[in-house]
Chains A and B, each alone.
Chain A
Amino acid sequence: DQQVKQNSPSLSVQEGRISILNCDYTNSMFDYFLWYKKYPAEGPTFLISISSIKDKNEDGRFTVFLNKSAKHLSLHIVPSQPGDSAVYFCAASGGGATNKLIFGTGTLLAVQP
């Protein structure tokens, strides 16, 4: 049973517009959430994170929103750039005896010029 779900396998957005990537989780014990970005032939790279005591964290063009009651988080990229085209993974930790990261399946973002 997947504890972290990214229900959209792909997303296409025009350059300059907002990209919104979504992630749902089932374990209410998760207390730390992260987004990773992965280009082809490279490993995932850390992008932004948020603690469960916050509902928003912003870093430049990237903002992560957390809705604990809905067990939902989202990553907003604005404005989107062609270089943002990549697979984005949502991850969560804090559930259970260890703090290991539980990843979603990823969303492929394509930003069209």
Chain B
Amino acid sequence: ETGVTQTPRHLVMGMTNKKSLKCEQHLGHNAMYWYKQSAKKPLELMFVYNFKEQTENNSVPSRFSPECPNSSHLFLHLHTLQPEDSALYLCASSQDLAGAWGEQYFGPGTRLTVT
């Protein structure tokens, strides 16, 4: 595997379910990100991790819980979601947070539907 991978690619869950999204980067990067993309809206940054430490939480509701066990893996644990949480969830990585957070490498995303 190369680049940034995400599993699952598609997920349908009920509002009372608990599920997790997984992201893995094979680029040797130190920073990882979770983004949310809702229909007709810009990509919205959710969380940032740098060297496994969370450096940014963009006022995300607690029903989204990130976990970064090492610099290569990032999880997003989901519980008691709402239908409006249905969106494309994208993971990204970059070498580090030095300077602008440009040139982030994105995974293909997980299309989440909450019923």
Contacts and interface: CB of A to CB of B under 8 A. Distances in A.
Interface of A: 2, 4, 31-32, 34, 36, 41-46, 49, 89, 91, 93-94, 98-106
Contacts of B87: none
Contact of A100 (B90, B101, B105, B107): B101
A34 B101 CA distance: 10
Interface string B33-46: 00000001111110
Given A44-B90, A46-B102, A93-B100, A4 B42 contact: yes
A46 B103 CA distance: 6
Contacts of A31: 100
A99 B108 contact: no
Interface in B78-100: 90-92, 97, 99-100
A113 B100 CA distance: 37
B108 A101 contact: no
Nearest to A4: B42
B92 A43 contact: yes
A44 B90 CA distance: 9
Among A2, A36, A42, A44, the most chain B Cβ lie within 10 Å of the Cβ of A44
Contact of A93 (B6, B56, B101): B101
- B-side interface size class: 20 to 34
Nearest to B41: A105
Contacts of A45: 105-106
B100 to A, nearest CB: 4
A100 B42 contact: no
A103 B91 CA distance: 15
Given A46-B105, A99-B101, A103-B43, 17 more contacts: A31-B100, A32-B100, A32-B102, A34-B102, A42-B108, A43-B4, A43-B6, A43-B105, A43-B107, A46-B102, A46-B104, A89-B42, A91-B102, A93-B100, A94-B100, A103-B42, A104-B42
B59 to A, nearest CB: 13
